[in-house]
Amino acid sequence: QVQLVESGGGLVQPGGSLTLSCAASGRTLSSGAVGWFRQAPGKEREFVAALRWSAANTKYADFAKGRFTVSIDKAKNTGYLQMNNLKPEDTALYYCAAGNTIWGMIASADGYSIWGQGTQVTVSS
């Protein structure tokens, strides 16, 4: 059984940066995709970014383009979400997810079968 553990969240000032990690344990992930989602209080969970473990394809939400970068380290079985120029509206609980996700479902939470517990990101001065 694969487990995902996120880390790297915290409090950062507007304009700052954070890198979230998503470590997979239980078995090596070599197919499918890793996705990042977030949920702010009182709002629906929304897609942030995703890429295939083959790293050949990436997809970003419009708000993430140009500011966020998704990557993986296959040797460490870990995915990353680098977030730059953070804004107060980026404040949310961030989740990583994994699964044998087809490309057409890569931006949908329904496309993933494994979820981490989430890591809080707070952007505030």
Residue 23's pLDDT is: 94
Residue 32's pLDDT is: 85
> Is the alpha carbon torsion for 85, 75, 30, 113 positive or negative?
negative
Q: Which of 82, 83, 79 has the alpha carbon at shortest distance from 98?
A: 79
pLDDT in tens, the chain (125 residues): 789 999 999 999 999 999 999 999 887 777 789 999 999 999 999 999 999 877 678 999 999 999 999 999 888 999 999 999 999 999 999 999 998 888 889 999 999 999 999 999 999 99
In the numeric block, the tokens 């120029």 are attached to: 85
Cα–Cα distance measured from residue 47 to residue 108, given in angstroms and rounded to the nearest whole number: 7
Cα–Cα distance measured from residue 112 to residue 108, given in angstroms and rounded to the nearest whole number: 8
Residue 115's pLDDT is: 96
Residue 55's pLDDT is: 65
